[in-house]
Chain A
Amino acid sequence: MRARLTLATARRVLLQVRADPRTLGLLIVVPCVLMGLLAWIFNGTHVFDRIGAPLLGVFPFVVMFLVTSVTTLRERSSGTLERLLSTPLCKGDFLAGYALAFGALAVVQALVATGFAIWICGLNVAGPLWLLVLVAVVDAVLGTALGLFVSAFARTEFQAVQFMPAFVLPQFLLCGLLVPRQLLPRPLELVSDVLPLSYAVDAMRTLTTEVDAAGDVGRDVAIVAAFAVAAIALGSLTLRRRTP
């Protein structure tokens, strides 16, 4: 009975995305352009092989964070959220609908970006490709979950966009992409231990170097997924039927 409402919500969100072809194009094309640029910059070195795969996990996270925080903020400020919560739709149906819609979008984005990185840019990945795509999708769902959560603290779309540098850039700096996490000053290493993007990047890094890494990657993916579930649970606390 609830699945019907969740699916209807996911369908509605996807219809809205389809109604905005420019956003859809940016979602799919931008990660590929950035990958291509990166491969070109580091042409002839091994740097691209080292950071290409971790970035395949970072892009969907960042993009989905932005898209979700703006979309749900719009839902809050246009009055549609209040209206939805006055119907039989539950918070859980609403959140699951969003996670499903953006998760589906993330699958497409991850497939296209991964394919582009490997077959066009010549990225070398030791581990299985399906695992690479899985990690990218879980990262995207994490971005969706965090975006849902922070949208509660923004009053305007302008503020929502500002949350991107505030929430995402520190995680990017500390995730081990610039400096390996074990080489960070001890306090920063401890901070990076509790940030979800660190595990997303760890998983991608393991995949690029180890042929048989399903165990380690599985653990990292489970941690990222746990962060996503926690963010959705926190986000659901910010959806209130009754407001002042």
Chain B
Amino acid sequence: MMNYESPAVVVDDLHVFRGSHEVLPGISLSVPRGQVVGLLGPSGGGKTTLLRSIVGVQILAGGTVSVLGEPAGSPGLRSRVGYVTQDPSVYSDLTVRQNIAYFAVLVGAPRDAVERTIEAVDLTSDADSRVDRLSGGQRSRVSLGAALVGAPELLVLDEPTVGLDPVLRRDLWALFHRLADDGTTLLVSSHVMDEATRCDRLLLLREGHLLADDTPDGLLARTGAPDAERAFLALIENEVAA
């Protein structure tokens, strides 16, 4: 079904400066609907800046970003796009349920969405705990829940699995795929290359340049590398040689 629809995100010749440094010097890419797309690459490569541009909170120097058919950041998109920042951005002095319930009102989610969301991020037994009494991994799941509660069509996640134990990481990726099966598009950034195999599609970003836009299998076949990490290194070497 994804091929019959326009892509969820289309970025065309995007330029972004942070200070005097051009973080994104004219990048173009697209994100197909209903897939889990991984945005991978080393820290400082422009991943967060790209995600912020797609959500519409980044000042752009040039180019266009279109999301679900509208310019990024349009008022009509604000309940259709969920954004989870790298640091958990929820209220640490409120309980899990109070946080999720507040964001549910903001995005106009139905009342029962609060409990369903708390269950989806596996925080049912901590629902009445204050967020500042939770572990780092639990806090980032509260932040994820605050974005999930509105059932957004596009979910933009900045390093959601950092600092999580292997079991939680596996569970989260399973949740991402369940959401994608229901038609949600997910754009997930990570600097951990072994998460590449969990994605339907990969975008490799280094120093503001897109090194690859491919499926995990396609990437391995093209580079002849045994895993994503070495495929990434092979691509960098090719670029340096060229």
Contacts and interface: CB of A to CB of B under 8 A. Distances in A.
Main secondary structure of the interface of B (DSSP, over half): loop
Interface stretch (A8-16, A117-125, A164-172, A224-232): A8-16
B141 to A, nearest CB: 15
A18 to B, nearest CB: 10
Contacts of B130: 19
B55 A87 contact: no
Interface residues of B, number: 32
Interface in B1-44: 17-19
Contacts of B102: 8-9, 11-12
Contacts of B91: 12, 16, 80
B221 interface: no
Given A5-B106, A16-B94, A20-B93, A242 B81 contact: no
Contacts of A85: 57
A204 to B, nearest CB: 34
A82 B93 contact: no
Given A15-B98, A242-B58, A243-B57, A80 B105 contact: no
A45 interface: no
The 6 A-B pairs at the shortest CB distance, nearest first, are namely: A79-B89, A8-B105, A87-B106, A88-B78, A19-B93, A83-B89
Interface of A: 4-5, 8-9, 11-12, 15-16, 19-20, 78-80, 82-89, 241-244
Given A9-B102, A19-B93, A242-B56, 19 more contacts: A4-B105, A8-B105, A8-B106, A16-B94, A79-B87, A79-B89, A80-B90, A82-B57, A83-B83, A83-B85, A83-B89, A86-B55, A86-B56, A86-B57, A88-B79, A241-B56, A241-B57, A243-B57, A244-B19
